[in-house]
Amino acid sequence: MNKKRIVSGMRPTGKLHLGHFHGVLSSWLELQDDHECFFFSADWHALTTEYANPGFVRESIDDLFLDWLSVGIDPEKCVMFRQSAILEHAELHLLLSMLTPVPWLERNPTYKDQLEELKEKELNTYGFLGYPILQAADIVIYKANAVPIGLDQLPHLELTREIARRFNFLYKKEVFPEPVAMLTRTSRLLGTDGRKMSKSYGNAIYLSDSRDEVKQKLSTMFTDPQRLRRTDPGDPDVCAIFTMHKLYSPLNEVEEIDRECRKAGIGCVDCKKRLIVRLNDALEPIREKRAGYAADQKRVKQIVSDATEKARGIAKKTMEEVREAVGI
Ligand code: TRP
Ligand code: SF4
């Protein structure tokens, strides 16, 4: 048993959609077989932007665990817990904040982008600037070897490595290994309006959508915008429905649609009908699993509380080493 330990978190800010599934979650599913996995809901990180809406964050936490479990994140293999249940993350965050130069935080490209993007929120806060320090604490407190993350999170991991190095150097003790990034797949799934699938665009298909919701959403989904009449030839390469067929339909059907669409041999209505069946079939086992867990909340609570104990044990041990290294 010499599995590499990986740690990753997700902010609880609403239910997960197909884009999450084909990006992060499918990577987690692959990793869980041969890694020691720690997955947590980063509720404090969610508060850095949602501090005025803690209710929304609170409600999203249980949904997040249900989403994970329903796609097959296996509680026998993965430790799943919430960040805020383990106060040691906060203590380590504090200690790491002492030794992190502010310019490291200010030059972080993700920070600058988000300030720009979320203009409607007041994000000139201390907590938001310190976001990567909390993330560093989340990771090094478990002495993770690797961190599965999306491209946008790479600067945060680089900061984690720099902070870990600085700690080890200052206190002359190799308390923290420097974790490496493991890039998760990026999903290029398009939403119902043809833009990238995203909660904020309101164009997402959720893992928890019912059969009818899926049918409804796909029926009104954008296709090739140039294809106005049934007799117009279409271009599958620019069609959001086609990007999904490639994920959910067998190859021979995908090829057939590709061919027929280009010569107006198939209409969008029929093409969508086929996808509705395929996608609903693919989501059915996920729905069943979700229903099973949703009906047995006690079991979910038990899974999370066992995991929390396990994570806490490790975090406490690391903090003993940390306090000894710092000497305070
Ligand atoms: N910042 C990450 C995101 O927005 C979430 C996160 C918090 C995280 N702590 C982490 C990811 C630790 C990996 C490891 O997606
Ligand atoms: Fe898209 Fe299918 Fe219509 Fe072609 S037939 S434009 S692939 S929905």
Domain count across the chain: 2
Q: What is the pLDDT of residue 1?
A: 62
Separation of CA 163 and ligand 1 centre (Å): 16
Residues 310 and 278 in one domain: no
* Residue pLDDT, tens place only, 44-80: 999 999 999 999 999 999 999 999 999 999 999 999 9
Q: Is residue 200 part of a domain?
A: no
Residues 150 and 47 in one domain: yes
Mean of the pLDDT values across residues 277-305?
Answer: 97
Separation of CA 88 and ligand 1 centre (Å): 17
Nearest to residue 244, comparing CAs of 256, 254, 232, 234? 254
Q: Tell me the residue type at 37.
A: C
* Residue pLDDT, tens place only, 219-251: 999 999 999 999 999 999 999 999 999 999 999
pLDDT at 169 > cutoff 90: yes
Q: Is residue 225 part of a domain?
A: yes
Token pair, residue 216, equals 């409804």
Closest ligand 2 atom to Cα of 236: 7
Q: Is residue 74 part of a domain?
A: yes
Residues 79 and 45 in one domain: yes
Predicted model pTM:
0.94
Query: Where do we find the tokens 């030839």?
Result: 233
Residue 96 Cβ inside 6 Å of ligand 2? The answer reads: no
Token pair, residue 327, equals 């000497």
Q: At 186, is the pLDDT very low, low, confident or very high (cuts 50, 70, 90)?
A: confident
Q: Is residue 107 part of a domain?
A: yes
Tell me which residues have their CB closer than 6 angstroms to ligand 1. 7-11, 42, 45, 135, 138-139, 147, 149, 153, 156
Residues 60 and 131 in one domain: yes
Residues 179 and 309 in one domain: yes
Q: What is the pLDDT of residue 137?
A: 98
Nearest to residue 205, comparing CAs of 69, 223, 215, 150? 215
Q: What is the pLDDT of residue 207?
A: 98
Identify which ligand lies nearest to the alpha carbon of 37: 1
pLDDT at 300 > cutoff 70: yes
Residues 88 and 44 in one domain: yes
Separation of CA 258 and ligand 2 centre (Å): 8
Q: Is residue 203 part of a domain?
A: no
CA distances to 17, 83, 107, 196 from 120, rounded to whole Å, are: 24, 27, 21, 21
Q: Is residue 196 part of a domain?
A: no
Separation of CA 139 and ligand 1 centre (Å): 9
Average pLDDT, the chain: 96
The CA distance from 50 to 56, in Å, is 8
Q: What is the pLDDT of residue 140?
A: 98
pLDDT at 257 > cutoff 70: yes
pLDDT at 172 > cutoff 70: yes
Choose which residue among 149, 154, 187 to substitute to test ligand 1 binding: the one with the highest number of ligand atoms within 8 A of its C-beta: 149
* Closest residue to atom 3 of ligand 2, CA basis: 268
Separation of CA 187 and ligand 1 centre (Å): 17
**CATH code at position 255:** 1.10.240.10
Residues 93 and 13 in one domain: yes
* Closest residue to atom 13 of ligand 1, CA basis: 8
Residue 257 Cβ inside 6 Å of ligand 2? The answer reads: yes
Q: What is the pLDDT of residue 116?
A: 86
Closest ligand 1 atom to Cα of 138: 12
Residues 234 and 276 in one domain: yes
Q: Is residue 197 part of a domain?
A: no
Mean of the pLDDT values across residues 11-30?
Answer: 95
Residues 137 and 252 in one domain: no
* Residue pLDDT, tens place only, 94-103: 999 999 999 9
CA distances to 46, 47, 57, 90, 97 from 42, rounded to whole Å, are: 6, 9, 10, 12, 18
Residues 222 and 263 in one domain: yes
Residue 224 Cβ inside 6 Å of ligand 2? The answer reads: yes
**CATH code at position 34:** 3.40.50.620
Q: What is the pLDDT of residue 113?
A: 86
Separation of CA 41 and ligand 1 centre (Å): 9
Identify which ligand lies nearest to the alpha carbon of 20: 1
**Residue 96: domain span:** 5-189+297-326
The CA distance from 239 to 247, in Å, is 13
Residues 138 and 284 in one domain: no
Residue 266 Cβ inside 6 Å of ligand 2? The answer reads: yes
Nearest to residue 22, comparing CAs of 30, 11, 14? 30
Identify which ligand lies nearest to the alpha carbon of 222: 2
Residues 33 and 145 in one domain: yes
Residue 179 Cβ inside 6 Å of ligand 2? The answer reads: no
Q: Is residue 110 part of a domain?
A: yes
* Closest residue to atom 8 of ligand 2, CA basis: 268
